[in-house]
């Protein structure tokens, strides 16, 4: 039963991904057990235990895409992002055209306030994701836009938020942040329109801007 569950997870992970053709089924029983136990530990909140099991699974099957992806949540939740960065580097070597690994690497650099490296990783993710119309493209553009916003490169931020919204018009934080970038570049009418849209989508932080600048 454990093996069946694991193979199902591999298939679900690979669906819609250009990396699916590079991913093989995993039939090693011990790898299966380690992976399934890691999922259980992660769901139970034992993130460090989950990471330990996943690393053991990778020692046995180092080219398993689904195991690298499974590391993301427990590593972030247990503050093991340095370890995750190392594992993502290995994953990118196995799957150089997979946008997900570049996206998660970008998230780590963004968390570390290393905006230039985050932009590099998000850009690599966008280049790969665009080719396959990845579901992560809106998030990649929004995240890179936030890096540019922090660096006060407002026109670049606007371009990325606009790309994000062209793919997902309901991306509330993209509206909110593009509003800030518009305001910073002297376009208050556009800023207010974005903030109103963001408020309609449930972002309450824009209320202060609406009250102060959008009479």
pLDDT, averaged per 10 consecutive residues of the chain (215 residues), comes to 36 40 65 95 97 97 94 97 97 96 98 97 97 94 98 98 97 98 98 98 97 94
211 lies in which domain range?
A: 97-215
Residues 155 and 188 in one domain: yes
Q: Calculate the alpha carbon distances from 123 to 2, 64, 80, 81 in Å.
A: 38, 24, 24, 20
pLDDT, tens digit, for every residue of 8-37?
A: 333 334 334 444 444 556 668 899 999 999
Extended strands (E) in 153-202: none
pLDDT of residue 79: 96
pLDDT of residue 28: 81
pLDDT of residue 9: 38
For residue 120, is it within any domain?
Answer: yes
Residues 81 and 146 in one domain: no
Residues 194 and 105 in one domain: yes
Extended strands (E) in the chain: none
**Count of structural domains within the chain:** 2
pLDDT of residue 215: 82
Residues 167 and 201 in one domain: yes
pLDDT, tens digit, for every residue of 28-70?
A: 889 999 999 999 999 999 999 999 999 999 999 999 999 999 9
pLDDT of residue 199: 97
Residues 77 and 133 in one domain: no
For residue 60, is it within any domain?
Answer: yes
Residues 102 and 82 in one domain: no
pLDDT of residue 18: 43
pLDDT of residue 26: 65
For residue 152, is it within any domain?
Answer: yes
For residue 208, is it within any domain?
Answer: yes
Other C-beta atoms closer than 10 Å to the C-beta of 65 total 23
* Cα(30)–Cα(27) distance, integer angstroms: 9
């Amino acid at each position: 039963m454990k093996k069946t569950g694991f193979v199902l997870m591999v298939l679900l992970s690979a669906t819609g991904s250009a990396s699916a053709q590079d991913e093989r089924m995993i039939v090693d029983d011990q790898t299966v057990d380690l992976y399934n136990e890691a999922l259980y530990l992660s769901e139970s909140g034992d993130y460090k235990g989950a990471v330990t099991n996943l690393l053991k699974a990778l020692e046995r099957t180092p080219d398993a895409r689904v195991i690298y992806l499974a590391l993301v949540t427990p590593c972030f939740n247990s503050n093991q992002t340095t370890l995750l960065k190392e594992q993502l580097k290995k994953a990118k070597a196995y799957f150089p055209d997979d946008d997900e690994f570049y996206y998660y690497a970008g998230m780590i650099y963004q968390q570390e306030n290393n905006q230039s490296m985050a932009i590099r990783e998000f850009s690599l993710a966008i280049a790969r994701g665009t080719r396959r119309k990845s579901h992560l493209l809106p998030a990649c553009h929004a995240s890179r836009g936030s890096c540019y916003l922090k660096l006060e490169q407002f026109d670049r931020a606007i371009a990325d938020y606009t790309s994000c919204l062209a793919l997902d018009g309901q991306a509330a934080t993209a509206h909110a942040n593009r509003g800030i970038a518009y305001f910073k570049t002297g376009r208050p009418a556009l800023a207010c329109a974005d903030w109103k849209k963001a408020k309609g989508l449930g972002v309450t932080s824009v209320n202060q801007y609406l009250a102060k600048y959008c009479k």
